[in-house]
Structures are given as structure tokens and as C-alpha cells.
């Protein structure tokens, strides 16, 4: 009858592509809302140790086959900030997923929060190939990707190229900054946030 049995590998590939396209549409809609000023902040107290623990728990599910370990370090332990927890989760879930994608098997990903003059810093560090200095600003552009095979020697990891654009928008909404820190190895994404948001976009 001309009908062939479904190939499991082909179905799996099609499912992954569908999921990726769905994520792409979601990211584009989110960026549109942010640019239109339709993303007001719902500010409340966020306990960073508990919050980053939840982010790490979610990241463990991304690639369990890699056997990665996750460390959360917060000083002082009861450090809190005033922020939109949902937007903040969007920021660190994106950074955590990137770290998982680029990490070699069996390595550690670290979430470290600490106080600096004028704000709170949260570093997300992985032991992957890192981002070339010439690409460290470009990775926040739409559709840019940090793991340029020409620089890292790695195969593409399947990101949409929009996650870091959304990260920067959401951090900027809080009056903060995000950048690739200068480290001797691996990659550290550094988010600096004021004690409470200084930029709140009205709905």
C-alpha cells in the first residue's frame, strides 16, 4: 500500500526539530514583548541560595547522560535581592542550559553569588571551550552563537541563538548587566544586579 513503517531515528530527529522550532517561536515572541515595553517587572524578594538551587535542579535534567555536577555557592548564605523571580529564572535557566550544552562530560557547573559594591554578582561557570574574546559581545546579538566551530573546534550544539538576547533584555530590565567574564579557562557568564531594580518598564 506504499506505507512504510516509521523509522525511530527519523521520528526522534523530527521531534527534536519540532521542539527547537517551538522554542524559537517562544523566544521571538518574548523578545517582541520586551522590545514593545510590555514586560513589566513583578518585583519581590528572591533568596538566591534557594533560587539558584532550583535552577541547578532544572539544569540537571537537560543532559543527564553527561553526568555533570552542579555547585551553588552564595555568600552570605542568606543573600537576597529584590527582583522579578520569573524573569530572573528565565535569565539563569538560559545560562544554565548553555553551560550544560558546552560542558564536557563529568565536569562541574558552578553558580556563585556574592556582594560587590553597588550590587550583587552571580557567576555561572562551566568548563567548556569558552568564548573567544572577539565574540564576547556578539553572542548577545540575535541568532548569534557562542560556540563558533571555527574558534572552538566543536560541532554546533543546537541552540537557537536567541537565548542570550533574552538574557540581556531581562537583566537590563532590572537595571543590571551581563557579560562574559575574563577567565583563564572555561566560560563564566557574569550577571550583575542592583539590590533592587532601577529600570522598570510599565505594562
Q: Which residues pair with 177 in a beta bridge?
A: 192
Is residue 48's pLDDT more than 80?
yes
- Better pLDDT: 145 or 98: 98
How many C-beta neighbours within 10 Å does residue 58 have?
15
Q: How many domains does the chain have?
A: 1
Model pLDDT, residue 162: 60
Model pLDDT, residue 138: 83
Distance from the first to the final alpha carbon of the chain: 57
Question: Is 71 part of a structural domain of the chain?
Answer: yes
Question: Is 199 part of a structural domain of the chain?
Answer: no
CATH number at residue 138: 3.30.565.10
C-alpha dihedral (190, 48, 23, 166), degrees to nearest 10: -40
Model pLDDT, residue 156: 45
Question: Is 134 part of a structural domain of the chain?
Answer: yes
Question: Is 162 part of a structural domain of the chain?
Answer: yes
Cell numbers describing residue 148? 563558533
Parent domain of 78: 8-193
Of 50-59, 122-131, 188-197, the range with the lowest mean pLDDT is 188-197
Q: What is the pTM of this model?
A: 0.74
Model pLDDT, residue 30: 63
Question: Is 3 part of a structural domain of the chain?
Answer: no
Question: Is 102 part of a structural domain of the chain?
Answer: yes
Question: Is 123 part of a structural domain of the chain?
Answer: yes
Question: Is 2 part of a structural domain of the chain?
Answer: no
Amino acid at each position: 500500500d506504499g506505507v512504510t513503517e516509521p523509522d525511530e531515528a527519523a521520528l526522534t530527529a523530527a521531534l527534536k526539530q519540532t521542539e527547537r522550532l517551538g522554542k524559537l517561536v517562544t523566544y521571538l515572541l518574548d523578545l517582541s514583548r520586551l522590545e514593545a515595553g510590555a514586560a513589566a517587572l513583578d518585583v519581590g524578594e528572591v533568596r538566591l541560595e534557594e533560587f539558584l538551587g532550583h535552577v541547578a535542579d532544572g539544569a540537571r535534567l537537560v543532559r543527564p547522560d553527561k553526568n555533570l555536577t552542579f555547585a551553588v555557592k552564595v555568600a552570605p548564605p542568606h543573600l537576597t535581592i529584590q527582583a522579578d523571580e520569573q524573569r530572573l529564572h528565565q535569565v539563569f535557566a538560559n545560562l544554565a542550559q548553555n553551560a550544560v550544552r558546552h560542558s564536557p562530560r563529568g565536569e562541574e557547573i558552578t553558580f556563585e553569588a556574592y556582594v560587590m559594591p553597588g550590587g550583587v554578582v552571580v557567576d555561572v561557570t562551566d568548563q567548556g571551550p569558552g568564548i573567544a574574546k572577539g565574540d564576547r559581545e556578539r553572542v548577545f546579538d540575535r541568532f548569534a552563537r557562542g560556540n563558533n566551530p571555527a574558534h572552538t573546534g566543536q560541532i554546533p550544539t543546537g541552540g537557537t541563538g536567541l537565548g542570550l538576547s533574552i538574557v540581556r533584555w531581562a537583566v537590563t530590565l532590572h537595571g543590571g548587566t551581563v557579560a562574559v567574564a575574563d577567565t583563564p579557562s572555561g566560560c563564566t557568564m557574569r550577571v550583575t544586579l542592583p539590590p533592587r531594580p532601577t529600570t522598570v518598564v510599565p505594562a
